[in-house]
Amino acid sequence: MYPDNWELTGPVDDGDSEGYVVESPTGMFFSLNRFGGRNDYENILKQACLAMDAEYDEVESEVYAADGAFPEEVGVEMQFYCKSLVITSRLLAMQYQDDVLLVQMQAENRDFDQNELVFAAMLKTVRDGLA
């Protein structure tokens, strides 16, 4: 479930994962990628963080624990500058059966704060669908 004015893209298959992205008209997005046949959710999160560090300068990150997290779930919240804007990006990796799921929620800092409940609802929809 996502807001009516957001646009769904996918599935996108990059050979390593299959995913979907839901994007708002203002550029906020929620992405979900499934890494089939993998059980290294912590490593996948680490690789995603390294990719963000390589893409953006001065990335600040801290461990993030989401409400309702799966027992095998890890998260990181990152902040960085992009085109003079402060961006917040939250990454969550979770083990689900024989797959790893990677969720990314990202927006300009003020938009992220104002829409945190929207992101939380979309994440809850994902988790409820897996339960």
Compute the CA torsion angle 93, 60, 79, 8 (nearest 10 deg).
-30
Tell me, what's the pLDDT at 48?
A: 97
CATH number, domain 7-129: 3.40.1000.10
Q: Where are the domains of the chain?
A: 7-129
pLDDT score of 14: 85
As averages over each run of 10 residues, the pLDDT of the chain (131 residues) reads: 89 91 96 96 96 94 89 95 94 95 97 94 92 76
DSSP state string for 13-45? E-SS-EEEEEE-TTS-EEEEEEEET---HHHHH
- The predicted structure's pLDDT at residue 34: 97
Evaluate the omega torsion of the peptide bond into residue 25 and state whether it is cis, within 30 degrees of 0: no
> What per-residue confidence (pLDDT) applies to 6?
94
Give me 124's structure tokens: 């809850």
CA dihedral 22, 24, 29, 35 (to 10 degrees): 10
